[in-house]
Protein backbone atom coordinates (compact mmCIF):
# COMPACT_ATOMS: atom_id res chain seq x y z
CA UNK A 1 0.00 0.00 0.00
CA UNK A 2 1.26 3.48 -0.82
CA UNK A 3 2.08 6.39 1.49
CA UNK A 4 -1.17 8.20 0.69
CA UNK A 5 -3.14 5.25 2.04
CA UNK A 6 -1.16 5.19 5.30
CA UNK A 7 -1.49 8.95 5.64
CA UNK A 8 -5.29 8.74 5.29
CA UNK A 9 -5.81 5.77 7.61
CA UNK A 10 -3.63 7.25 10.37
CA UNK A 11 -6.14 10.10 10.68
CA UNK A 12 -8.94 7.65 11.52
CA UNK A 13 -7.68 5.99 14.72
CA UNK A 14 -5.61 6.45 17.86
CA UNK A 15 -3.94 3.57 19.65
CA UNK A 16 -4.26 -0.20 19.33
CA UNK A 17 -7.56 -2.05 18.98
CA UNK A 18 -10.60 -2.18 16.75
CA UNK A 19 -11.94 1.20 15.68
CA UNK A 20 -15.33 2.04 14.19
CA UNK A 21 -15.54 4.22 11.09
CA UNK A 22 -18.31 6.28 9.52
CA UNK A 23 -19.44 3.14 7.67
CA UNK A 24 -20.93 0.41 9.90
CA UNK A 25 -19.45 -2.39 7.79
CA UNK A 26 -15.90 -1.02 7.82
CA UNK A 27 -13.59 -1.16 10.83
CA UNK A 28 -9.89 -0.53 11.39
CA UNK A 29 -7.80 -2.97 13.39
CA UNK A 30 -4.34 -2.00 14.58
CA UNK A 31 -1.76 -3.38 16.98
CA UNK A 32 1.82 -2.38 17.74
CA UNK A 33 2.68 -5.73 19.34
CA UNK A 34 3.83 -8.99 17.84
CA UNK A 35 1.29 -11.72 18.57
CA UNK A 36 2.41 -15.36 18.45
CA UNK A 37 0.20 -18.05 16.98
CA UNK A 38 -3.22 -17.49 18.56
CA UNK A 39 -6.64 -19.09 17.89
CA UNK A 40 -9.35 -16.75 16.57
CA UNK A 41 -12.73 -16.91 14.87
CA UNK A 42 -12.97 -15.15 11.53
CA UNK A 43 -16.41 -14.08 10.37
CA UNK A 44 -17.57 -13.29 6.82
CA UNK A 45 -15.32 -10.43 5.76
CA UNK A 46 -12.62 -8.96 3.55
CA UNK A 47 -9.36 -7.97 5.22
CA UNK A 48 -7.12 -5.37 3.55
CA UNK A 49 -3.75 -5.06 5.27
CA UNK A 50 -2.31 -1.56 4.98
CA UNK A 51 0.85 -2.20 7.00
CA UNK A 52 2.45 -5.24 8.63
CA UNK A 53 1.65 -8.89 8.06
CA UNK A 54 -0.40 -11.79 9.36
CA UNK A 55 0.00 -15.49 8.73
CA UNK A 56 -3.12 -17.61 9.21
CA UNK A 57 -3.12 -21.37 9.68
CA UNK A 58 -6.06 -23.66 9.02
CA UNK A 59 -4.63 -27.06 9.84
CA UNK A 60 -2.05 -27.76 7.11
CA UNK A 61 -3.09 -24.71 5.07
CA UNK A 62 -1.16 -21.44 5.41
CA UNK A 63 -2.34 -18.03 4.23
CA UNK A 64 -0.23 -14.87 4.17
CA UNK A 65 -2.01 -11.53 4.08
CA UNK A 66 -0.11 -8.29 3.95
CA UNK A 67 -0.01 -5.10 1.89
CA UNK A 68 0.31 -7.18 -1.30
CA UNK A 69 -2.28 -9.85 -0.49
CA UNK A 70 -5.80 -9.41 0.86
CA UNK A 71 -7.81 -12.10 2.66
CA UNK A 72 -11.39 -13.14 1.89
CA UNK A 73 -13.40 -15.11 4.47
CA UNK A 74 -16.68 -16.23 2.82
CA UNK A 75 -17.85 -18.19 5.89
CA UNK A 76 -17.18 -18.33 9.63
CA UNK A 77 -13.95 -20.22 10.36
CA UNK A 78 -11.62 -20.87 13.33
CA UNK A 79 -8.01 -20.02 12.46
CA UNK A 80 -4.71 -19.71 14.25
CA UNK A 81 -2.92 -16.46 13.39
CA UNK A 82 0.50 -14.91 13.91
CA UNK A 83 0.70 -11.10 13.73
CA UNK A 84 3.88 -9.27 12.76
CA UNK A 85 3.95 -5.78 14.25
CA UNK A 86 6.13 -3.48 16.36
CA UNK A 87 6.16 -0.02 17.91
CA UNK A 88 8.07 1.19 14.84
CA UNK A 89 5.68 -0.44 12.35
CA UNK A 90 2.18 -1.24 13.57
CA UNK A 91 -0.07 -3.78 11.94
CA UNK A 92 -2.95 -1.85 10.33
CA UNK A 93 -5.87 -3.40 8.47
CA UNK A 94 -9.33 -2.59 7.18
CA UNK A 95 -12.00 -5.15 8.03
CA UNK A 96 -14.93 -4.96 5.62
CA UNK A 97 -17.94 -7.10 6.51
CA UNK A 98 -19.27 -8.82 3.40
CA UNK A 99 -22.87 -7.88 2.65
CA UNK A 100 -24.27 -11.22 1.50
CA UNK A 101 -27.16 -9.74 -0.48
CA UNK A 102 -24.81 -7.45 -2.37
CA UNK A 103 -22.37 -10.28 -3.00
CA UNK A 104 -25.15 -12.56 -4.27
CA UNK A 105 -26.10 -9.90 -6.81
CA UNK A 106 -22.51 -9.48 -7.96
CA UNK A 107 -21.81 -13.22 -8.24
CA UNK A 108 -25.06 -13.74 -10.12
CA UNK A 109 -24.01 -11.13 -12.67
CA UNK A 110 -20.34 -11.99 -13.16
CA UNK A 111 -20.86 -15.76 -13.25
CA UNK A 112 -22.77 -15.35 -16.50
CA UNK A 113 -19.93 -13.45 -18.12
CA UNK A 114 -16.77 -14.70 -16.48
CA UNK A 115 -15.58 -18.28 -16.43
CA UNK A 116 -14.98 -19.26 -12.83
CA UNK A 117 -11.30 -19.97 -12.72
CA UNK A 118 -10.21 -23.44 -11.67
CA UNK A 119 -8.64 -23.61 -8.25
CA UNK A 120 -7.35 -26.69 -6.46
CA UNK A 121 -7.81 -24.98 -3.10
CA UNK A 122 -11.15 -26.08 -1.61
CA UNK A 123 -10.93 -24.56 1.88
CA UNK A 124 -13.42 -21.87 2.81
CA UNK A 125 -10.96 -18.98 2.85
CA UNK A 126 -8.46 -17.54 0.39
CA UNK A 127 -5.95 -14.76 -0.20
CA UNK A 128 -5.46 -12.89 -3.45
CA UNK A 129 -3.21 -10.24 -4.96
CA UNK A 130 -3.87 -6.54 -4.29
CA UNK A 131 -4.28 -5.14 -7.80
CA UNK A 132 -3.95 -1.49 -8.78
CA UNK A 133 -7.77 -1.32 -8.92
CA UNK A 134 -8.10 -2.56 -5.34
CA UNK A 135 -5.37 -0.22 -4.12
CA UNK A 136 -7.17 2.67 -5.80
CA UNK A 137 -10.47 1.64 -4.20
CA UNK A 138 -8.78 1.42 -0.79
CA UNK A 139 -7.54 4.99 -1.12
CA UNK A 140 -10.94 6.21 -2.28
CA UNK A 141 -12.60 4.44 0.65
CA UNK A 142 -10.23 6.02 3.15
CA UNK A 143 -10.78 9.42 1.56
CA UNK A 144 -14.57 9.30 1.97
CA UNK A 145 -14.21 7.99 5.54
CA UNK A 146 -12.86 11.43 6.46
CA UNK A 147 -16.34 12.92 5.80
CA UNK A 148 -19.73 11.81 7.15
CA UNK A 149 -21.47 13.28 4.09
CA UNK A 150 -19.24 11.51 1.59
CA UNK A 151 -19.43 8.26 3.54
CA UNK A 152 -23.22 8.36 3.52
CA UNK A 153 -23.54 9.20 -0.18
CA UNK A 154 -20.59 7.33 -1.72
CA UNK A 155 -19.82 4.54 0.72
CA UNK A 156 -22.13 1.83 -0.64
CA UNK A 157 -20.99 2.29 -4.25
CA UNK A 158 -17.29 2.03 -3.35
CA UNK A 159 -17.91 -1.06 -1.23
CA UNK A 160 -19.88 -2.66 -4.07
CA UNK A 161 -17.06 -1.98 -6.53
CA UNK A 162 -14.58 -3.43 -4.04
CA UNK A 163 -16.68 -6.62 -3.77
CA UNK A 164 -16.81 -6.83 -7.55
CA UNK A 165 -13.01 -6.64 -7.76
CA UNK A 166 -12.55 -9.51 -5.33
CA UNK A 167 -15.27 -11.51 -7.12
CA UNK A 168 -13.22 -11.43 -10.35
CA UNK A 169 -9.87 -12.01 -8.62
CA UNK A 170 -7.54 -14.84 -9.58
CA UNK A 171 -8.48 -17.02 -6.59
CA UNK A 172 -12.19 -16.16 -6.39
CA UNK A 173 -13.40 -19.59 -7.49
CA UNK A 174 -14.45 -20.63 -3.99
CA UNK A 175 -16.25 -17.33 -3.38
CA UNK A 176 -18.47 -18.05 -6.39
CA UNK A 177 -19.24 -21.54 -5.14
CA UNK A 178 -20.22 -20.25 -1.69
CA UNK A 179 -22.77 -17.88 -3.20
CA UNK A 180 -24.43 -20.31 -5.64
CA UNK A 181 -27.34 -21.82 -3.69
CA UNK A 182 -27.27 -25.39 -4.98
CA UNK A 183 -23.54 -25.97 -4.64
CA UNK A 184 -22.32 -28.19 -1.81
CA UNK A 185 -20.09 -25.31 -0.69
CA UNK A 186 -23.13 -23.05 -0.26
CA UNK A 187 -24.95 -25.78 1.65
CA UNK A 188 -22.05 -26.15 4.06
CA UNK A 189 -21.87 -22.35 4.43
CA UNK A 190 -25.51 -22.30 5.55
CA UNK A 191 -24.83 -25.11 8.03
CA UNK A 192 -21.82 -23.21 9.38
CA UNK A 193 -24.03 -20.19 10.02
CA UNK A 194 -26.46 -22.34 12.02
CA UNK A 195 -23.61 -23.85 14.03
CA UNK A 196 -22.12 -20.42 14.70
CA UNK A 197 -25.40 -18.96 15.99
CA UNK A 198 -26.66 -22.06 17.85
CA UNK A 199 -23.41 -23.70 19.00
CA UNK A 200 -24.45 -23.73 22.67
CA UNK A 201 -27.36 -26.07 21.85
CA UNK A 202 -27.09 -29.82 21.25
CA UNK A 203 -26.64 -29.71 17.49
CA UNK A 204 -27.58 -32.83 15.57
CA UNK A 205 -25.25 -33.43 12.60
CA UNK A 206 -27.64 -35.78 10.72
CA UNK A 207 -30.38 -33.12 10.95
CA UNK A 208 -28.01 -30.44 9.61
CA UNK A 209 -27.20 -32.71 6.68
CA UNK A 210 -30.88 -33.47 6.08
CA UNK A 211 -31.75 -29.76 6.07
CA UNK A 212 -29.41 -29.31 3.11
CA UNK A 213 -30.56 -32.50 1.36
CA UNK A 214 -27.18 -34.17 1.85
CA UNK A 215 -26.24 -37.60 3.13
CA UNK A 216 -24.34 -37.64 6.42
CA UNK A 217 -21.19 -38.97 4.72
CA UNK A 218 -21.34 -36.31 1.98
CA UNK A 219 -21.95 -33.61 4.60
CA UNK A 220 -18.91 -34.76 6.62
CA UNK A 221 -16.68 -34.95 3.53
CA UNK A 222 -17.55 -31.50 2.20
CA UNK A 223 -17.50 -29.98 5.69
CA UNK A 224 -13.93 -31.14 6.26
CA UNK A 225 -12.78 -30.02 2.79
CA UNK A 226 -14.04 -26.50 3.46
CA UNK A 227 -13.15 -26.04 7.14
CA UNK A 228 -10.29 -28.54 7.57
CA UNK A 229 -12.23 -29.78 10.62
CA UNK A 230 -14.84 -32.43 11.29
CA UNK A 231 -18.22 -30.96 12.36
CA UNK A 232 -17.57 -31.89 16.02
CA UNK A 233 -14.07 -30.33 15.96
CA UNK A 234 -15.51 -27.17 14.44
CA UNK A 235 -18.33 -26.94 16.99
CA UNK A 236 -15.86 -27.37 19.85
CA UNK A 237 -13.62 -24.53 18.60
CA UNK A 238 -16.58 -22.19 18.09
CA UNK A 239 -17.80 -22.95 21.61
CA UNK A 240 -14.38 -22.37 23.17
CA UNK A 241 -13.89 -19.04 21.39
CA UNK A 242 -17.35 -17.85 22.44
CA UNK A 243 -16.70 -19.01 26.01
CA UNK A 244 -13.47 -17.02 26.05
CA UNK A 245 -15.41 -13.91 25.00
CA UNK A 246 -17.98 -14.50 27.75
CA UNK A 247 -15.21 -14.62 30.33
CA UNK A 248 -13.10 -11.73 29.02
CA UNK A 249 -15.77 -9.33 27.76
CA UNK A 250 -18.83 -10.10 29.86
CA UNK A 251 -17.21 -11.10 33.14
CA UNK A 252 -18.57 -14.65 33.26
CA UNK A 253 -17.14 -17.08 35.78
CA UNK A 254 -15.44 -20.11 34.22
CA UNK A 255 -18.13 -22.55 35.34
CA UNK A 256 -20.92 -20.28 34.02
CA UNK A 257 -19.21 -19.86 30.65
CA UNK A 258 -18.81 -23.65 30.41
CA UNK A 259 -22.49 -24.34 31.02
CA UNK A 260 -23.57 -21.45 28.77
CA UNK A 261 -21.68 -23.08 25.90
CA UNK A 262 -23.32 -26.46 26.43
CA UNK A 263 -20.66 -28.20 28.54
CA UNK A 264 -21.96 -30.60 31.19
CA UNK A 265 -18.60 -30.64 32.99
CA UNK A 266 -16.60 -27.54 33.95
CA UNK A 267 -13.45 -29.67 34.36
CA UNK A 268 -13.80 -31.04 30.81
CA UNK A 269 -14.32 -27.48 29.57
CA UNK A 270 -11.12 -26.37 31.32
CA UNK A 271 -9.15 -29.24 29.77
CA UNK A 272 -10.46 -28.47 26.29
CA UNK A 273 -9.83 -24.74 26.78
CA UNK A 274 -6.22 -25.24 27.84
CA UNK A 275 -5.61 -27.69 25.01
CA UNK A 276 -6.86 -25.11 22.49
CA UNK A 277 -5.57 -21.80 23.85
CA UNK A 278 -2.51 -23.05 25.73
CA UNK A 279 -3.59 -21.69 29.13
CA UNK A 280 -6.50 -22.40 31.52
CA UNK A 281 -9.70 -20.31 31.37
CA UNK A 282 -9.02 -18.88 34.84
CA UNK A 283 -6.07 -17.01 33.28
CA UNK A 284 -8.19 -15.17 30.71
CA UNK A 285 -7.67 -11.43 31.05
CA UNK A 286 -10.56 -8.95 30.92
CA UNK A 287 -10.94 -7.18 27.58
CA UNK A 288 -13.20 -4.29 26.67
CA UNK A 289 -12.59 -4.43 22.91
CA UNK A 290 -15.66 -5.21 20.82
CA UNK A 291 -13.77 -7.89 18.93
CA UNK A 292 -10.08 -8.69 18.93
CA UNK A 293 -10.28 -11.66 16.57
CA UNK A 294 -8.94 -9.92 13.49
Is 158 found in the same domain as 21? yes
For 245-294, what is each residue's pLDDT tens digit? Answer: 999 989 999 999 999 999 989 999 999 999 999 999 999 988 744 444 45
pLDDT of residue 294: 53
pLDDT at position 121 is 55
- Tell me how many domains the chain contains: 2
Q: What is the pLDDT of residues 257-270, one digit of tens each?
A: 999 999 989 999 99
pLDDT at 239 over 50: yes
The mean per-residue pLDDT over the stretch 141-169 comes to: 96
Whole-number pLDDT of residue 111: 62
Round to whole Å and give the CA distance between 200 and 239.
Answer: 7
Confidence at residue 290, expressed as pLDDT on a 0 to 100 scale:
43
Pair 82, 141 in one domain: yes
Provide, rounded to the nearest whole percent, the portion of the chain with pLDDT above 70: 93
Tell me what pLDDT residue 152 has: 96
pLDDT at 242: 93
Q: Is residue 196 part of a domain?
A: no
Question: 191-200, 222-231, 283-292: lowest mean pLDDT where?
Answer: 283-292
144: in domain: yes
Long-range contacts of 227-232 (CB under 8 A, 24+ apart): 227/58, 227/77, 227/78, 227/123, 227/124, 227/188, 227/192, 228/58, 228/59, 228/60, 228/61, 228/123, 229/59, 229/78, 231/195, 231/205, 232/205
Question: Between β-strands 26-31 and 126-129, what pairing exists: parallel, antiparallel or unpaired?
Answer: unpaired
Which residues, in sequence order, are CB contacts of 264 under 8 Å at separation 6+?
Answer: none
Residues 18 and 41: their CA atoms lie apart, in Å, by 15
Assign residue 119 a region: left if phi > 0, alpha if psi is -120 to 50, beta otherwise?
beta
Q: Could you tell me if residue 81 is inside a domain?
A: yes
Q: For residues 170 and 241, state if they share a domain.
A: no
Residue 173 shares a structural domain with residue 268:
no
Please check whether residues 129 and 215 belong to one and the same domain. no
Supply the pLDDT for residue 285.
84
Mean pLDDT score, 82-98 = 95
Same domain for 54 and 89?
yes
Distance between CA 173 and CA 191 in Å, rounded? Answer: 20
pLDDT band at 110 (very low <50, low <70, confident <90, very high): confident
Domain of residue 255 covers 201-294
pLDDT of residue 120: 53
193 assigned to some structural domain: no
Mean pLDDT of the 201-209 span: 91
| 30 within some domain | yes
- Same structural domain for residues 234 and 294? yes
Q: Cα separation of 1 and 203, whole Å?
A: 44
> Can you tell me the distance from the alpha carbon of 50 to that of 135, in angstroms, rounded to the nearest whole number?
10
Average pLDDT score over residue span 126-140: 96
Q: Is 228 left (phi over 0), alpha (psi -120 to 50) or beta?
A: left
Q: Indicate which CATH number applies to the domain containing 237.
A: 1.10.10.60
Q: What is the pLDDT of residue 84?
A: 95
Amino acid sequence: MNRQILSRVNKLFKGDGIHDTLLNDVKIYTTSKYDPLTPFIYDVCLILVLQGKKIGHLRENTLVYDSKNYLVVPTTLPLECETYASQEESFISLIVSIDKKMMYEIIDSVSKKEAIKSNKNSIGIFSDIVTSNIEDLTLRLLNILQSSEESKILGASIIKELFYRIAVGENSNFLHKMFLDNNNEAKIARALKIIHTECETKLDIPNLAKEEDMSVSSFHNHFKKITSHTPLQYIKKIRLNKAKDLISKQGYQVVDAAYEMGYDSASQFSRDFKGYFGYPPKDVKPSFEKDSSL
